[in-house]
């Protein structure tokens, strides 16, 4: 069966979310399973090949699948669904995080026939087989679908699908389906790692319960790891096949098991894989022993979600970390030569100007190598989403297309601080942080300029965006 999997773009609709093109790993994983079963799969990534609709219509797919995050990319996904619907009489299937968190509302959209809830490898395969053989979809677990009868339809919710038991059983993602150069060119990085990075998901889910995170509903607080051996094999495959130099682990929480993290590190060293890699880690999970193992194996960047410098807010969002742990983790990175990348979120419900002042001071004290300042958005499925609805701070959109939200267009105030003031405070915090690091950043900019990794125009626009606006 010919199957087209689409990664819709956010670029056309906003610049207010992180929009660098990254390979759509979820689709690569679905494609791998489908291809192993003999299906003919293509991937259309609108982030890197914007105007290629005609090319993919010519492929005449017999099933079109689209992925979804909450946010402006939904507008593109709806648009593309309508285009494919207009030209082809084939099932339009939605999956991914947004569709999984709000399946009923998603399936109500007239351009969508089937919604796959949760991880999609087993479901898409069963779906493709059923559709190819003209069978009914009654027994496919994990879907919402439109059952046609006498020219009309009714929405049917099938039984949920259990999690995949053994993630090692999944085939390697189909990187060969992508023009990798297109991703490498658009990625910007600030450390020693190569721009040409490959992503790997070495585990799924997370046992924690942070208030703003999708995990509680999507992964039901379960953490399911691939074995260290399998992870090392996947790195070796990317290295041998594509000469991969940098690996980005896109796990929700890479280091839930310190033992596994160390075993993966040992495997990388033992097999002389000679790669750099980046992970996401909670500050309370990074011990000196684990950090040393990671460093020796090539870890040169760790991304920490710290989120606030106010102990009260940390408790409110159920982050379960302390500022002391954050300081310790960042210091450890500095000591070992690992770049510390940190994220903070402003605008949580109940947050006050004093809380933001704590955050600002804490960032200054922490002095991480990189800083991402975001604003709170109540993503469906998160505990704080329920909180803001309960406290009448947010009315959830009634239609799929109205979920094209970002902090700038959401039109709500969740914290005690008016949005304009919050924006100003965020800029001030960033400037204070940045000013202190000017010598270091100037050097990095210069090196990036010399190596032609960044153009003077990009540098200028970055400066204007962060300092003049």
Which residues would be at the binding site for ligand SF4 (CB under 6 A)?
Answer: 206, 208-210, 213, 215, 252-253, 282, 305
The partner in contact with residue 365, picked from ligand SF4, ligand B12, none with C-beta cut-offs of 5 to 8 angstroms by kind, is none
Contact code string over 203-222 relative to ligand B12, x by CB under 6 A: ----------xx--------
Q: How far apart are CA 277 and CA 298, in angstroms?
A: 6
Please, what is the end-to-end C-alpha distance for the chain in angstroms? 51
Which residues lie across from 3 on neighbouring strands?
41, 63
Which of these ranges, 17-25, 130-138, 149-157, 438-446, lies near ligand B12 under the rule CB under 6 A?
A: 17-25
- The residue among 97 and 314 lying less far from ligand B12, judged by its C-beta, is 97
Q: Does 81 help bind ligand B12 (rule: CB under 6 A)?
A: no
Which of these ranges, 14-22, 184-192, 334-342, 394-402, lies near ligand B12 under the rule CB under 6 A?
A: 14-22
Angle at the Cα of 180 from the Cα atoms of 266 and 16, rounded to 5 degrees? 95
With both helix axes pointing from N to C terminus, report the angle between 288-297 and 258-270 in degrees, rounded to the nearest 10: 30
4, 22, 48, 246: which one binds ligand B12 (CB under 6 A) = 22
Q: What is the DSSP string of 327-354?
A: HHHHHHHHHHTPEEEEEEEE--TT--HH
Q: How far apart are CA 467 and CA 433, in angstroms?
A: 12
**Shortest distance, CB of residue 252 to ligand B12, whole angstroms?**
4
Asked whether 294 and 261 are in contact (CB, 8 A), the reply is yes
Q: Does 29 help bind ligand B12 (rule: CB under 6 A)?
A: yes
Say how many residues touch ligand B12, by CB under 6 A.
36
Q: Is the dihedral of CA 173, 176, 177, 179 positive or negative?
A: positive
Q: Does 174 help bind ligand B12 (rule: CB under 6 A)?
A: no
| Nearest CA among 57, 54, 69 for reference residue 13 | 69
- The residue among 223 and 237 lying less far from ligand SF4, judged by its C-beta, is 223
- The residue among 71 and 91 lying less far from ligand SF4, judged by its C-beta, is 71
Rg (CA), the chain: 22
**Shortest distance, CB of residue 96 to ligand B12, whole angstroms?**
3
Q: How far apart are CA 276 and CA 67, in angstroms?
A: 29
**Shortest distance, CB of residue 446 to ligand SF4, whole angstroms?**
34
Interface with ligand B12 by CB under 6 A: which residues? 7, 10, 17-18, 20, 22, 24-26, 29-30, 65-67, 69-71, 73, 93, 95-98, 101, 116, 119-121, 124, 201, 213-214, 250, 252, 374, 379
């Amino acid at each position: 069966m010919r199957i087209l999997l689409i990664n819709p773009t956010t670029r056309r609709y906003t610049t207010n979310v992180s929009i660098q093109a990254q390979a759509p790993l979820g689709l690569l994983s679905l494609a791998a399973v489908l291809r192993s079963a003999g299906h003919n799969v293509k991937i259309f990534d609108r982030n890197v090949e914007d105007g290629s609709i005609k090319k993919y219509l010519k492929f005449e797919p017999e099933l079109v699948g689209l992925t979804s995050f909450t946010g402006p990319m939904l507008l593109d996904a709806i648009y593309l669904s309508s285009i494919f619907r207009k030209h082809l009489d084939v099932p339009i299937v939605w999956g991914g995080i947004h569709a999984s968190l709000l399946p009923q509302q998603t399936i109500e959209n007239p351009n969508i026939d089937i919604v796959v809830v949760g991880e999609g490898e087993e479901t898409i395969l069963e779906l493709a087989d059923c559709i190819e053989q003209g069978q009914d979809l009654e027994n496919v677990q994990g879907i919402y679908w439109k059952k046609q009868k006498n020219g009309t339809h009714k929405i049917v919710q099938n039984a949920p699908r259990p999690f995949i038991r053994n993630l090692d059983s999944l085939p390697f993602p189909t990187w060969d389906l992508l023009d990798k150069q297109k991703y490498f060119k658009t990625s910007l990085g600030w450390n020693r790692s190569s721009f040409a990075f490959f992503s790997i998901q070495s585990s799924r889910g997370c046992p924690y319960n942070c208030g703003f995170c999708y995990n509680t509903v999507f992964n039901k607080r379960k953490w399911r790891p691939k074995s260290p051996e399998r992870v090392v094999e996947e790195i070796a495959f990317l290295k041998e096949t594509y000469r991969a130099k940098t690996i980005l682990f896109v796990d929700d929480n890479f280091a839930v098991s310190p033992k596994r993290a160390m075993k993966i590190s040992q495997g990388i060293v033992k097999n002389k894989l000679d790669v750099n890699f980046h992970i996401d880690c909670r500050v309370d999970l990074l011990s000196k022993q684990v950090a040393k193992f990671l460093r020796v194996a090539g870890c040169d960047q760790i991304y920490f979600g710290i989120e606030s410098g106010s102990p009260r807010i940390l408790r409110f969002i159920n982050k379960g970390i302390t500022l002391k742990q954050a300081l310790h983790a960042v210091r450890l990175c500095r000591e070992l030569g690992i770049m510390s990348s940190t994220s903070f979120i402003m605008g949580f419900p109940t947050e006050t100007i004093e809380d933001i002042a704590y955050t600002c001071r804490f960032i200054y004290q922490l002095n991480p190598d990189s800083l991402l300042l975001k604003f709170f958005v109540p993503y469906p499925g998160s505990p704080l989403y329920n909180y803001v609805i309960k406290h009448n701070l947010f009315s959830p959109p009634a239609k799929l297309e109205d979920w094209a939200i970002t902090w700038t267009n959401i039109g709500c105030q969740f914290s005690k601080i008016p949005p304009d003031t919050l924006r100003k405070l965020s800029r001030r915090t960033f400037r204070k942080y940045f000013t202190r690091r000017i010598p270091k950043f100037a050097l990095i900019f210069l090196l990036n300029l010399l190596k032609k990794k960044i153009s003077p125009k990009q540098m200028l626009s970055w400066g204007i965006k962060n300092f003049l606006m």
